[in-house]
Structure 1
Amino acid sequence: MKRTFWLFSLLICAAPVMAQQFNLYNSRTLYDVFENPSQSAYQIDTSRRIAFNFFIPTVTINAAASGSAKEAFKPLIYDGVVNGDNIAIGENKFNTITFNTNTYIVMLRWLHTVKKSQEIGLSWQVRDDARIKATNETLAIFDDYDLFNNTASAKGLFNNKGYNQSYHQFSLSYRQDLNKRLSIGAKGSMLSGITYTSFKVIQSDVVIDQEQDILDVSMVGNLRTSFKFDNFDSESIKPYFKNPGLSLTAGGSYKFRNGWFVMGNLKDIGFIKWNKNSYEYNFDASNIEIINASNSSADNRLTDSLDQRISNSITNRSYFSVLNGKAEVLINKNYGNYQPNLILSKSIFYDGADIVLTNNYHYRNFVFTASADYNTSKYLAIGSQLMVKSPNVEFFIGSDQLLKSLEIIKDIKRDTGPYSSGYTGMSFYMGFGLKFGRILEHPANANFIPGFNEPWAARFFKGIFRKKDK
């Protein structure tokens, strides 16, 4: 059984992810101020009033696969097969697969008043979040069930779970300074769900009869999806609000007298209500018996039997899903051109957390960044970023998993293994922003005073103050 099986295909297409673009935190870019709403995008007396991305999307993509069977993912990705020879079985070990995209199509922000730095923003983003927890045995058995020769029963060793959801997010954000040190911000969003899939296997068992060449599989669990896998409607990608939702992000930041800076957020706390035409399967696929299990057609017979048992349990109903909300804290202290940030990020409703150190070095209008991210899925990601930033123009490109992304490019060029070791991961992001309009000036330094610099006002005051002829 060398071909990938239906459930793992479900894992990938259902493939929350821990990936935020941490290198952009505290950068005061458009991306930063929409993700961390207490941040300011402006520098008084140098920035212009309106910031916009001119419909040039800010694209971010992240993916990772880690766990005790991490070496099996590379042959699966590059060759389409699973090699279970070195996978430890019978030890109840899990692997984590994550995938995330966050694309800002529109980002528009303007400074309402210089006093208290009141800023208002509008944004449209499209997001996809996914997380899978799969056992070693799930990978191993669909390579070769003979790997279970010494296991009479594999009860509970296939209890996998995961989810994926994608949605449009339309947001209104606001921030202001309460005083010279404390700032607050909030981002309220309307959501339009695109796709949703979640599954959980609560009971599983595989019994192998070597003498009779019989494989007996049982699987009990729940599957929810907003669409049928063999009949996806591309129209659902459009934001029709048939699957509406709401979310809220709120945060604050404080500048201490000794130069320390602290920022905290409760991010993307919300839900989506999936319509009544969505699908739910409370399936009981017990005692599926595959005779002549060593035959090459056994994989297809098992797949067909599972498909049939699960499909027979279908019902249509509406249900709610929660977003992958996070609690985050950033701590910073600047040392001239060197600006380090320590970031702690924890998912609220799902598993997963990150501890990140980003190191920024500023040279004229360039910012060079190197980062280290420890994820609780037990891997360390090394990232890098190049940013060009002035008070009115910004461009950035980078990766939170630079070394692993380069490894993937290297491995793709190979016809066969061996492939690079360690977990599998990739990350890429790029964005642009521009400010235009009147330069923001503090009233005490202003060259332009509304009402006084108009042509009619200039003529009026010139007439009053001009010298009279003797």
Structure 2
Amino acid sequence: MNRIFVCLFFVLSFLSASAQQFSQYNTGSLYDSFENPSQRAFIPDSSRAVAFNFLIPNFDANFYVTGRAQSALKNRAFLGNYDVSALTPPGKGGLNHFNAGGNNYWVMLKFYTNLSGDVEMGFSAQTKVESKGLITDETIRLLSGSSTFPDDHYENIFNNHYQLQIYDQLSYTYRKRFSKEIAFGFKLSYLSGVKYDKIDVENSAIQFNRIPDINGNESAVISMQGRYYHSYVPGRLDGRDFLPNFRNPGASITIGASYLTEDGITIQGNIKDLGFIHWSKRSFINDFNNSANINGINSPNREDNIYNASYKLFSGNAAVTGFNTKTNAKADFSVTKNYWFDDEKTIRYFPTLIAQKELFYPGFTGAWVNSVQKNNLIGTLTATYDDYKLFNLGLQVMVKSPNAEFFIGTERLINTGRLTFAALKNKTQINHVGSYTGANIFMGFSLKFGRVIEHPMNSSYIAMGEKGFFGRLFGRIFKTYN
């Protein structure tokens, strides 16, 4: 599959990348405690004192595309050709919004360090992707060739906007309960930038040359004016570039607090991933205003030809310089309450209402999370609605005991199913144009080990002065619980 198609659509769905995962709120999972740092991961007198994911990735990957281009992109992805019949006619201004992101925890390690205040401390390593943009119908139409453009000249039909940011995040997290009602937590992070690209096209034009050359290939001259940001990567992007380094340093902070009312309602607020990345001075910014010739625009290699000509246009005469970018910070507010269905407290219903706002972008999402727990099994049905007028239903299944947890789910249940059928070459789903095409999947696992956290009056263990491995390793750093 050619590079430009990958950049525009399909690879975004497979990046272990900054979607919010609402289904985990108030589940008490290790993932939840790192994402919402005022949330506890340990239960005294039940849990063991060390939680770890054993290097098994805990991830959330998400993408969607809106607009009339959905059918054309699915046809190209799953059948190998474009069907542009659903696109708006050239020059009519059809736009498609896309968003992709996710969050992959490679390492999650947390310790319960003090019974006085329920103090928890932890370390994590994760990779994030943040990507969004607007792409015109004519851009997708051009990838299918020139034959569906009735005129020879068009203005401003390729005014696209695209942004991709990938970075590693190494974090220290701390959580403390100040009273029965109030808990506070934070996550301090060092960021290591992996890749950044941003393209803003403000003006564009194309002139088709319908006279074929000696090989029967037509050509076109494309002109664009705008700005292109590109981070420095030594050579081709590969696995080594995802290792943390100091080439593109940054920092971020997440702060959260929760309050338990007299009525048993938990109110929680967070500011998440408020930070920046400074990209290397070997990166470049280019204010382009140029033209490029696209040969073979009706040939089987047209997608690569379009990509190569466009990249040359974007990157020519660039100024080598460093620059700063923001992370996609969010603020959220939630309320939840427990309802027990039996006297033995084996069946619990805990709904959560969540409002989340992106701080530097227009994105706003409201979520209603409905979780039911019976013993160690939790089922969650989530409904979300955002300012792009996209409604979603999600489903999560979690198996959780005090010392082990596994969960899997999606927050785009219907659309993930539709895309799965499309990938199986179901023609109805491939040609379906709904409010959006997209998918989401998340999954996680962790275990707790070590000594059981016990209050002194309930203790079944009498300290004799011996220390285990983690006691020797971390005894000088953390206060031990009593």
Does 1:239 find its partner at 2:250?
Answer: no
Quote the residue 2:44 is aligned against.
44
Contact 1:66/1:377, CA 8 A, preserved across alignment = no
Matched residue type, 1:83: D
Give the whole-Å Cα distance in 1 for the aligned partners of 2:392 and 2:230. Answer: 32
CA drift at 1:109 = 1.1
* DSSP-derived class of the 1:115 partner: coil
Aligned to 1:333: 337
Q: Name the SS of the counterpart of 2:117 in structure 1.
A: helix
Q: Secondary structure at 2:237's aligned position in 1?
A: coil
Distance of 1:74 and 1:416 partners within structure 2: 10
Residue in structure 1 matched with residue 262 of structure 2 by the alignment: 257
> Once the 2 structures are TM-superposed, how far is the Cα of residue 151 of structure 1 from its aligned partner?
9.4
* Number of the residue aligned with 2:65: 65
| Alignment partner, residue 317 of structure 2 | 313
Distance 1:274 1:409, change over 3 A: same
Percentage of matched positions with identical amino acids: 33
How far did 1:404 drift? Answer: 2.2
Indicate the SS of the match to 2:262.
Answer: coil
Residue of structure 2 equivalent to 1:361: 372
**CA deviation after TM superposition for structure 1 residue 228, in Å:** 6.5
User: Cα 1:315–1:119, aligned 2, differ >3 Å: closer, same or farther?
Assistant: same
Match runs of 1:5-154 below 5 Å: 8-12=5-9, 15=12, 19-89=19-89, 90-145=91-146, 147-149=148-150, 153-154=154-155
**1:263-295 deviation per Cα after TM superposition (whole angstroms, max 9, x unaligned):** 111100111111122233322224x56699767
Q: 1:68 to 1:377 in 2, by over 3 A?
A: farther
Aligned partners of 2:201, 2:274: CA distance in 1, in Å? 27
Structure 1 counterpart of 2:442, one-letter code: Y
Query: Residue 67 of structure 1 aligns to a residue in which SS?
Result: coil
The Cα offsets for residues 157-201 of structure 1, whole Å up to 9 and x where unpaired, read as 322112112221111011111221111110000111122211111
Q: If the length of structure 1 is used for normalisation, what is the TM-score?
A: 0.85
Higher gyration radius (CA): 1
Opposite residue 439 of structure 1, the aligned amino acid is: V
**Pairing 1:188–2:201 present:** no
SS of equivalent to 2:314: helix
Equivalent residue in structure 1 for 2:327, among 312, 318, 323:
323
Counterpart check, 1:432 vs 2:460: no
Q: CA RMSD in A?
A: 3.2
Letter in 1 for 2:95: F
Structure 2 letter corresponding to 1:120: M
The answer for unaligned runs of 5 or more in structure 1 is 455-470
Distance (whole Å) between structure 2 residues aligned to residue 249 and residue 74 of structure 1: 37
How many residues are treated as equivalent by the alignment? 449
Matched residue type, 1:221 = G
Structure 2 Cα separation of the partners of residues 55 and 301 of structure 1: 41
Displacement of 1:208 in angstroms is 6.0
Name the structure 2 match of 1:248.
253
Structure 2: unaligned runs, 5 residues or longer: 213-217, 341-347, 468-482
2:152 matches 1:164: no
Which letter does structure 2 place at the counterpart of 1:438? R
The alpha carbon displacement at 1:145 in A equals 4.3
TM-score (norm 2): 0.83
For residue 225 of structure 1, what is the aligned residue in structure 2? Answer: 230
Which residue matches 1:457?
Answer: none
Mapped to 2, the partners of 1:61 and 1:86 lie a distance apart of 28
Q: Does 2:374 match 1:385? A: no
Query: Any conservation in 2 of the 1:14–1:198 contact (CA below 8 Å)?
Result: no
